[in-house]
C-alpha cells in the first residue's frame, strides 16, 4: 500500500483505517459498518500482498462528520 499522506491525518478527527481480512466480502463489510457512523472516503478495491494472508483495504475516515441517514437529501440510498 502507498504511504499515508500527511493531509489524511492533518487534524484531530481524521483517520486512516486499514482493514486486514480473509476475503473481499469481509473487508467491504467492515468498511460499510464504518460508513454507517462516520463520513468516509471508501476504497473500491482490496489489495493482496504476495506471501501475506488475506486482503487489505484502506479507507479514510472523518470522525468530525456523522454519516447521513439513508434517504437524507443528497444520499443515493
Q: What is the mean pLDDT of residues 49-62?
A: 92
Query: CB–CB of 36/75 below 8 Å?
Result: no
Q: What is the mean pLDDT of residues 55-67?
A: 89
The alpha-carbon radius of gyration of the chain (Å, integer) is 14
pLDDT at site 76: 47
Query: CB–CB of 74/68 below 8 Å?
Result: yes
pLDDT at site 11: 81
Amino acid at each position: 500500500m502507498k504511504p499515508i499522506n500527511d493531509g489524511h491525518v492533518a487534524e484531530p478527527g481524521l483517520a486512516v483505517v486499514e482493514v486486514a481480512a480473509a476475503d473481499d466480502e469481509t473487508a467491504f463489510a467492515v468498511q460499510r459498518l464504518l460508513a454507517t457512523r462516520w463520513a468516509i472516503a471508501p476504497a473500491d478495491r482490496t489489495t493482496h500482498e504476495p506471501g501475506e494472508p488475506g486482503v487489505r483495504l484502506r479507507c479514510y475516515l472523518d470522525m468530525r462528520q456523522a454519516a447521513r441517514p439513508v434517504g437524507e437529501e443528497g444520499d443515493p440510498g
